[in-house]
């Protein structure tokens, strides 16, 4: 029997959570918002999201085959990237846009840099920015929810026009919370995105601190800017990509710091930049750019926030 005993280094037991399980959890958490997207934006949403996911997975398999790496599509990370990208485009997008976006996200941002864990930017966000910069008109052609989709302005665009107060032409606050408003497919229903976020915190996949600090920073800064107009602040919190960005993208492992303190600075930086872009930048929305900028700063943040080693004498 001796040759059958396995000899390996300790520890000899492992936690149940695996990369696969974590990615699956993120996909599960995004499910309510995905269903809402299909409910509000109908069939076109379903097609676009499906195309994004399928392209992401196919690209991952293809690139890994070409590069001679083991194919790891069963870890669900490509599914998550595809899903996030699909949720980040408008309902009016052409069918080839999610395809191009997912391809760029997986092939260029993720696989060329070494695959899962090595991407220094969030692949889905980088894909979204690539699309926005390449086809700005198409990526900002927002439509109203429903079958007779007509073009509309997002609540954030209306806020930007009006300055530091809530204009009359914005949808009701309730509509922005439940998602019955213009915007990217999956970003509009704040309440369902929060629901998924609670699931992720409960499963231990993310810490509530990152979205909490991110959203909190935006809330405080917009409150100050508007002279304590709570309604104005609430519109900023519940509209645009803040919820999906703060809960699902600023918490991306690979592209954020690993130190507990670093993650908090990262979240604060995201909130600060988002507010600055929204209030003073050329675009009405700044979530995607803010997170990407902070992604790039992550290694630096890590370096300056190394935890004090137990028993370290300084």
Partner 1 sequence: MKMKFVTFRGGIHPPEAKEATEHLKTEKAVEPTIVVIPMQQHIGAPCEPIVQAGEIVKVGQKIGEAQGFVSAPVHSSVSGIVKAVTDVPVATGNEALAVIIESDGKNEIDPSIKPKGDIEKLQPKEIVDAIKEAGIVGMGGATFPTHVKLSPPPEKNIDTIILNGAECEPYLTTDHRLMLEKPEEIVYGLKAMMKAVGVKKAYIGIENNKPDAIEVMLKAIEKEDEIKVVALQTKYPQGGEKQLIYAVTNKEVPSGGLPMEVGVIVSNVATAAQIALTIKTGMPLIERVATVTGKAIKNPKNILFKIGTPVNKLIEECGGYATTPGKLILGGPMMGNAQHTDEIPAVKGTSGILVFDQEQAKQPNPRNCIRCARCVEICPANLQPLYISENSLANRMEQAENYRALDCIECGSCSYVCPARRPLLPSIRVAKNQIIAKKREQKNNK
Verify cis geometry, omega within 30 degrees of 0, for the bond prior to 94: no
CB of residue 302 vs partner 1: minimum separation in angstroms? 8
Cβ nearer to partner 1, comparing 26 with 153: 26
22 with 241: CB under 8 angstroms? no
DSSP 173-201: HHHHHHT-SSSBTTTS-HHHHHHHHHHHH
Cβ nearer to partner 1, comparing 17 with 161: 17
* Nearest Cα residue to 181 out of 38, 283, 41: 41
Cβ nearer to partner 1, comparing 1 with 150: 1
Site string for partner 1, 17-46 (x = CB under 8 A): xxx-xx------------------------
* Nearest Cα residue to 188 out of 282, 113, 89: 89
Cβ nearer to partner 1, comparing 96 with 303: 303
> Alpha-carbon distance 186 to 49, whole Å?
9
CB of residue 218 vs partner 1: minimum separation in angstroms? 24
CB of residue 159 vs partner 1: minimum separation in angstroms? 35
CB of residue 286 vs partner 1: minimum separation in angstroms? 25
Asked if 11 interacts with partner 1 (CB under 8 A), we say: yes
Q: List, in sequence order, the alpha helices (H) in 72-208.
A: 77-87, 96-103, 123-134, 136-139, 155-162, 173-178, 190-202
Asked if 254 interacts with partner 1 (CB under 8 A), we say: yes
Cβ nearer to partner 1, comparing 123 with 155: 123
Asked if 291 interacts with partner 1 (CB under 8 A), we say: no
CB of residue 64 vs partner 1: minimum separation in angstroms? 12
> Alpha-carbon distance 57 to 117, whole Å?
16
Asked if 68 interacts with partner 1 (CB under 8 A), we say: no
Grouping H, G, I as helix, E, B as strand and the rest as coil, residue 291 is helix
Position among 65, 67, 71, 114 found at the interface with partner 1 (CB under 8 A): 114
> Alpha-carbon distance 4 to 9, whole Å?
16
CB-based contacts of 192, cutoff 8 Å, min separation 6 = 32, 33, 35, 36, 179
**Piece of the chain touching partner 1 by CB under 8 A; list 1-9, 90-98, 121-129, 195-203:** 1-9
Cβ nearer to partner 1, comparing 9 with 282: 9
> Alpha-carbon distance 27 to 119, whole Å?
19
Asked if 259 interacts with partner 1 (CB under 8 A), we say: yes
In the complex, the residues that contact partner 1 under the rule CB under 8 A are 1-2, 4-15, 17-19, 21-22, 72, 75, 77, 114-118, 253-254, 256-260, 263, 306-313
């Amino acid at each position: 029997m001796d040759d059958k005993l396995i000899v390996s280094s300790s520890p000899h037991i492992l936690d149940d959570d695996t990369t696969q399980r974590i990615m699956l959890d993120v996909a599960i958490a995004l499910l309510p918002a995905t269903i809402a997207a299909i409910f509000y934006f109908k069939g076109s949403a379903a097609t676009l999201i499906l195309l994004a996911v399928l392209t992401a997975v196919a690209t991952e398999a293809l690139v890994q085959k070409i590069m001679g790496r083991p194919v790891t599509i069963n870890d669900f990370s490509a599914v998550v990237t595809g899903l996030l990208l699909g949720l980040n485009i408008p309902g009016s997008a052409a069918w080839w846009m999610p395809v191009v976006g997912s391809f760029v996200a997986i092939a260029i941002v993720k696989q060329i840099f070494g695959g899962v864990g090595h991407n220094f930017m969030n692949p889905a966000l980088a894909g979204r920015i690539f699309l926005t910069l390449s086809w700005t008109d198409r990526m900002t052609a927002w439509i109203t929810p429903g079958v007779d989709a007509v073009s509309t302005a997002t609540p954030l665009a209306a806020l930007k026009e009006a300055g530091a107060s809530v204009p009359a032409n914005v949808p009701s606050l309730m509509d922005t919370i439940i998602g019955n408003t213009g915007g990217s497919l999956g970003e509009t229903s704040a309440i369902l995105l929060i629901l998924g976020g609670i699931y992720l915190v409960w499963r231990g996949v993310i810490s509530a601190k990152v979205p909490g600090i991110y959203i909190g920073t935006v809330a405080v800064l917009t409150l100050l800017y508007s002279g304590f107009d709570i309604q104005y602040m609430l519109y900023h919190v519940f509209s645009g990509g803040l919820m999906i960005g703060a809960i699902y993208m600023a918490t991306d492992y690979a592209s954020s710091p690993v130190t507990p303190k670093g993650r908090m600075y990262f979240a604060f930086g995201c909130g600060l930049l988002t507010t600055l872009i929204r209030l003073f930048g050329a675009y009405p929305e700044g979530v995607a750019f803010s997170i990407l900028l902070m992604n790039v700063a992550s290694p630096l943040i890590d370096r300056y926030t190394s935890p004090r080693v137990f028993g370290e004498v300084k």
